[in-house]
């Protein structure tokens, strides 16, 4: 276990198992009302494993893809997420949102695991579509929040922070052992995404 590559892969594997076991209650978006304010909005993505993993995966994938997508993807996701929130608030119909969120975790994890390198436009569209679903889920909840503007601001800033975290982790790709380790992280995210998909199917 003195080899840092071995230690990293073991750590990732343990984390993936832990995330899969924890994921059960994290997928619900019942729209039953949210505590208002900036603090509640900032904390929310860290309490929902589906959102957290998708947002970190966006940063990871951007780091794998390099410039300009390492900058563009973390801008596209929260930007379209705001649009999705507006759609949710006014009731624009979308396909089942829980499916979209669950598939986002699975698909973004696979993008990292397979080190997919689509064109700039394609990568931005993929991230935008998933950002729309994540925003829509919370837009439906916003009208019942005490302070929807503060909540939205906190949520968007937390999203950006998670993207930055993913980019930071993605910098490991610079080392010879980094890319295999990041692929292992992507596999862990994708496996957890499959768990969310199963939950969405049972709902």
Helices (H) and strands (E) in the chain, counts: 8, 0
pLDDT attached to residue 146: 65
More confident residue, 4 or 197: 197
Position 43 scores a pLDDT of 83
Residues 139-178 have pLDDT tens digits of 777 766 667 778 888 888 889 999 999 999 888 877 878 8
The per-residue pLDDT for range 13-60, each reduced to its tens digit, is: 434 433 333 334 444 454 445 556 788 778 877 878 898 999 999 999
Burial of 116 (0-12, 13-18, 19+ CB in 10 A): middle
Nearest to 57 by CA among 4, 96, 97, 19: 19
Among 65-69, 124-128, 155-159, the range with the most confident prediction by mean pLDDT is: 124-128
Question: CA 33, 106, 115, 130 torsion: positive or negative?
Answer: negative
- Residue 61 has what pLDDT? 95
């Amino acid at each position: 276990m003195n080899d840092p590559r071995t230690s990293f892969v073991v750590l990732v594997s343990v984390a993936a198992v832990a995330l899969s076991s924890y994921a059960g209650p994290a997928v619900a978006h019942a729209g039953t009302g949210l505590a208002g304010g900036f603090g509640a909005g900032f904390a929310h993505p860290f309490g929902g494993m589906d959102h957290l993993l998708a947002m970190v995966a966006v940063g990871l994938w951007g780091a794998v893809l390099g410039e300009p997508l390492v900058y563009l993807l973390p801008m596209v996701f929260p930007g379209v997420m705001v649009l999705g929130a507006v759609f949710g608030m006014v009731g624009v119909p979308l396909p089942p949102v829980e499916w979209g969120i669950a598939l986002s975790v699975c698909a973004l994890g696979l993008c990292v695991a397979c080190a997919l390198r689509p064109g700039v436009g394609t990568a931005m569209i993929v991230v935008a579509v998933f950002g729309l679903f994540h925003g829509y889920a919370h837009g439906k909840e916003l009208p019942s929040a005490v302070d929807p503007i503060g909540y939205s601001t906190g949520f968007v800033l937390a999203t950006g922070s998670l993207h930055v975290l993913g980019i930071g982790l993605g910098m490991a790709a610079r080392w010879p052992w980094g890319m295999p380790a990041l692929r292992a992280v992507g596999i862990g995210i994708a496996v957890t995404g499959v768990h969310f998909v199963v939950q969405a199917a049972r709902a």
